[in-house]
Amino acid sequence: MAKIIVIDDDRSISESLELYLSEEGHEVMTANTGTDGLNMVLQTSPDIVILDIRLPDIDGFTVLEDLKEENVEAKVIMITAHHDMDTTIKAMKEGAFDYIHKPINIDELDIAIQKAINTLEMEKKIDGLLTEPSRSFKVGDIIGTGKAMLDIFKTIGVVTQSKTTVLIQGESGTGKELIAKVIHNNTSPTEPYIAINCSAIVDTLLESELFGHEKGSFTGAINRKPGKFELARHGTVFLDEISEMSLNLQAKLLRVLQEMEFERVGGKDRVKVNARIIAATNKDMKTLVEEGKFRDDLYYRLNIVTINIPPLRERREDIPMIVDYLLKKINRDLHKNIVGVSKEMMDVFMKYGWPGNVRELENILVRAAVVAKGQVLGHEDFPDLLGGTQVTRVPAEPAGEEEGTGFETLDEIEERHIRRVIAKVGRNKGEICEILGISRPTLERKLEKYGIHFD
């Protein structure tokens, strides 16, 4: 249970909350002004502060700001009779753990308090919860220690000794452009790196984008425009999703690779190609060649050196290190102080299929960091990943014949656990709550949710 201070000038509310929370097993103190409440917090170091915004001397936002300046670790749940958007946004922006409207819904308050307690417990055990010691990374690092990634590192080291064409293959989200940038930065870092997505530009414009055009070569060409190959100088041209390039343009690209020079659209002057060409695709190029959708001669020109990036599910040993790297990046970009992921969530990460690969992992970490109340990301911060929908299911631990070997949602696991506890201790709801670590109202809601009835 928690040490809680209620700061509210409405004595009926503060006394009612004191009575209810005391019955729930919490240690509760009350204050009726912001100044008294602030002093009480600084003197007693509570776990949770329930703070009204409207107070007779100083407002709740001032109290919240003072608590932050004093580095108070208590979680602040703000309450107000006002339902306006600006006040809610300001409360959360200023660092409130949660925000509840009056009249107070006791179930909502119970949930907020339990979340605060869980977060505090995580932070107290922070050393044991972190999955890996902090590492030193720099922006643009490729993260991995498995054999597949080490082989990629070796290949990168070889190709940086020349300007040979490179083909990078891998599923969406595996980091194909990141590898292209690493090759560029280790070959010609002072020269331009120019990327173009072949699937994002219509064929008629793509030719002009790649090779440039002369004035008057087509409607709207009012000036000469240099293309990507020309702008790259001695740097790198990265052709992403090259499998989407039309057969007509494939023929022109092949000629460029053979002759290492080209003509601008509508022009006659030959322009020499000095840049390295790196192409990438998320499709099986051999299959496309067999189906006649990609020129075999161009494929062989691009396939001088091929880097195949394994999907994240095939290099699970790298996940903890990737999470550590991404959290450092997120902290820098979002001005957060997330120090790690709980072991519970890391177990989920290690079992999940990651159809979106590293990009998906980064996206869910960003979302979790934005809404997280604590410094360690736990299961409450990943509702999408732990939900019951098809795309977010997580493979269950290998089980015996009784439980099968399929998939379970978090709700299914929770229901099974609750039923197991009830079977063991009987109808003693107090003991059930103690074992589950939840309040009586929360237990009642879960019993109703799962259709569990005491006869």
State mean pLDDT over 153-167.
90
In the chain, the percentage of residues whose pLDDT exceeds 90 is 34
- Identity of the highest mean pLDDT range in 72-86, 124-138, 308-322, 432-446: 308-322
Distance CA 102, CA 119 (A): 24
373 compared with 406, residue with greater pLDDT? 373
107: left (phi over 0), alpha (psi -120 to 50) or beta: alpha
Fold: same for 147-312 and 315-395: no
Mean pLDDT score, 271-284: 92
Instruction: Quickly list H helices, 217-342.
Output: 228-231, 247-259, 285-290, 296-302, 319-334
Rounded average pLDDT over 295-317: 93
Please state which CATH number belongs to domain 409-449. Answer: 1.10.10
Domain 315-395 classification at class level: mainly alpha
Amino acid sitting at position 313: R
Which residues lie below 8 Å from residue 309, measured CB to CB, with a gap of 6+? 152, 168, 169, 170, 171, 174, 175, 176, 179
Q: pLDDT category, 138, cuts 50, 70, 90?
A: low
pLDDT tens digits for 66-95? 888 887 888 999 998 776 667 777 777 788
Residue type, 107: D
| Dihedral, CA of residue 201, residue 275, residue 139 and residue 129, to nearest 10 | 70
Domain 147-312 has CATH 3.40.640.10: no
- C-alpha 142/C-alpha 98 separation (Å) is 37
pLDDT tops 70 at residue 384: yes
Residue 132 predicted with pLDDT over 50: no
Rounded Cα distance, 324 and 51, in Å: 35
What 3-state class would DSSP assign to 72? coil
pLDDT average, residue stretch 143-161 = 86
Using one digit for the tens of pLDDT, what is the confidence trace for 168-178? 999 999 999 99
Going by pLDDT thresholds of 50, 70 and 90, the confidence category of residue 412 is confident
Instruction: Examine residue 103 and say whether the peptide bond preceding it is cis (omega within 30 degrees of 0).
Output: yes
Determine the angle formed by the axes of helices 247-259 and 203-211, rounding to 10 degrees. Answer: 10
Instruction: Give tens-digit pLDDT for 205-263.
Output: 888 888 887 886 776 677 878 888 889 989 999 999 999 999 989 998 999 899 988 88
Helix (H, G, I), strand (E, B) or coil at 341: strand
pLDDT band, very low/low/confident/very high, at 446 (cuts 50, 70, 90): confident
**d(C-alpha 163, C-alpha 237), whole Å:** 11
pLDDT at 140: 59
The more confidently predicted of residues 211 and 400 is 211
Q: Kindly report the CA angle at 433 between 421 and 429, in degrees rounded to 5?
A: 80
Residue 82, both tokens: 């006002």
What token pair was written down for 165?
A: 């064409």
Burial call 337-370: b when 16+ CB within 10 Å, e when fewer: ebbbbbeebbebbeebebebbbebbbebbbebbe
- pLDDT greater than 70 at residue 402: no
pTM: 0.62
Distance of alpha carbon 48 from alpha carbon 153, whole angstroms: 49
Strands 305-308 and 276-281: unpaired
- Assign a CATH topology to domain 3-124: Rossmann fold (3.40.50)
Classify the phi-psi angles of 266: left when phi > 0, otherwise alpha if psi is within -120 to 50, otherwise beta.
left
Quickly state the pLDDT bin for 183 (edges 50, 70, 90). very high
Length of the chain: 455
pLDDT computed for residue 133 by the predictor: 42
Cβ neighbours for 189, distance < 8 A, ≥ 6 positions apart: none
Which two tokens mark 203?
């064929």
CA 77 to chain centroid, in Å, comes to 26
Question: Which of 40-44, 97-101, 429-433 has the least mean pLDDT?
Answer: 429-433
Q: Alpha-carbon Rg of the chain, whole angstroms? A: 30
pLDDT band at 130 (very low <50, low <70, confident <90, very high): very low
Q: Answer yes or no: is pLDDT of 400 > 50.
A: no
Confidence band for 407, pLDDT divided at 50, 70 and 90: low
Q: How far apart are CA 29 and CA 322, in angstroms?
A: 44
Name the 3-class secondary structure at 103.
coil
- Mean pLDDT in residue range 424-428: 76
pLDDT at 129 over 70: no
Q: Which of 37-46, 126-135, 356-365, 428-437 has the lowest mean pLDDT?
A: 126-135
Name the nearest CA neighbour of 303 among 156, 182, 165, 160.
Answer: 165
Q: Report, as an integer, the average pLDDT of 313-336.
A: 90
Cα–Cα dist 228/241, whole Å: 16
pLDDT tens track for 11-68 = 888 888 998 999 888 999 999 999 999 999 999 989 999 999 989 999 889 999 888 8
CB atoms within 10 A of CB 2: 20
Contact 49, 75 (CB under 8 A): yes
Indicate the domain borders of the chain: 3-124, 147-312, 315-395, 409-449
Q: What is the mean pLDDT of the chain?
A: 83
pLDDT of residue 126: 52
